[in-house]
Amino acid sequence: GESVGLHLPTLSVQEGDNSIINCAYSNSASDYFIWYKQESGKGPQFIIDIRSNMDKRQGQRVTVLLNKTVKHLSLQIAATQPGDSAVYFCAEKNNAGNMLTFGGGTRLMVKP
Amino acid sequence: DAGVIQSPRHEVTEMGQEVTLRCKPISGHNSLFWYRQTMMRGLELLIYFNNNVPIDDSGMPEDRFSAKMPNASFSTLKIQPSEPRDSAVYFCASSFGQGGGYTFGSGTRLTVV
C-alpha cells in the first residue's frame, strides 16, 4: 500500500543552527499532514500540522512546508536547542478516513 | 485534562501469559487508536474505534490480540497468549472528529520473556 517515508534516519546539528527534516509521501489523496516529536520514553507529541490547501505554516520556531507537486513535506526548526533532540515523525491522513499513517522517523541530535 | 492515560507503564511477563493493556482517552474524544511501536516496524496502527465501535482492526497481528471499548472512557488491548515477538511499546491515542491529529498516551512498554 501507499506509505509515508523519510529521507534521513539521523540528523546531527549544532546548537543554534537551523534544522530541516524531510519527508516524502506517496498518497496523492492525502490532504492533512502532521509533524510529531517523540522524546525518549514518551509518546509522540503534536508539533504542527498543515492542510493540502496550504504550502507553508509557521509556529513557534517551527515551520512546515508542503510541496504537493513532488509530494514532499519538511519541518524546519529555527535556532535548534538541546531540548529539540528527539525522533520526529511525519504523518498523513486523507479525507476518506480518520487514520494517520506514520513515516519511519528521523532522529535529531543537537550538539552543544 | 490529564491527557490520554495508559497503564501499566511497564509490563514484564512470561511467554504464554495473558497481558491486558489499558487506556483512558481524553474526555470528549470520540475516536481511539491502538498503536504498536518497534525499532523494526515503527508505529503500526493495530485497531481504531469510533464512538466505541471498532472501525478497522486490519492491523491486529493475529487472533491472540483483541481490543474492547466498553464505554467512551475506557479501552483495553489484550494479548493471549503472549509471545516474545509481542515485545514492543504500545500506544493509545485519541482524537475528536476527523479533522485533526491525535493525542498520544505515554505508552506501555511490554517485555515478554
Average predicted confidence (pLDDT) for chain B? 94
pLDDT (0 to 100) of residue B101: 83
pLDDT in tens, A2-14: 334 434 489 999 9
Average predicted confidence (pLDDT) for chain A? 89
The angle at the Cα of A18, spanning A15 to A23, to the nearest 5 degrees, equals 120
Alpha-carbon distance of B50 to B33, in angstroms, equals 9
Cβ proximity of B34 and B90 under 8 Å = yes
Alpha-carbon distance of A92 to B63, in angstroms, equals 28
Across chain A, the runs of DSSP E, i.e. the strands, are 4-6, 10-14, 19-25, 30-38, 45-51, 56-58, 62-67, 72-77, 86-94, 101-102, 106-111
Alpha-carbon distance of A69 to A4, in angstroms, equals 15
**Chain A residues close to B43, C-beta within 8 Å:** 44, 89, 102, 105
pLDDT in tens, B48-88: 999 999 999 999 988 999 999 999 999 999 999 999 999 99
What is the average pLDDT across B91-113?
Answer: 91
Nearest CA in chain A to B9: A41
Q: Among all chains, which residue has been given the C-alpha cell 509490563?
A: B11
pLDDT (0 to 100) of residue B40: 81
What is the average pLDDT across B25-41?
Answer: 92
DSSP 3-state assignment of A77? strand
pLDDT (0 to 100) of residue A8: 45
**Chain B residues close to A36, C-beta within 8 Å:** 101, 104
Among the partner-chain residues B42, B45, B101, the one whose CB lies closest to the CB of A46 is: B101
For residue B54, cis peptide bond before it (omega within 30 degrees of 0): no
DSSP 3-state assignment of B36? strand
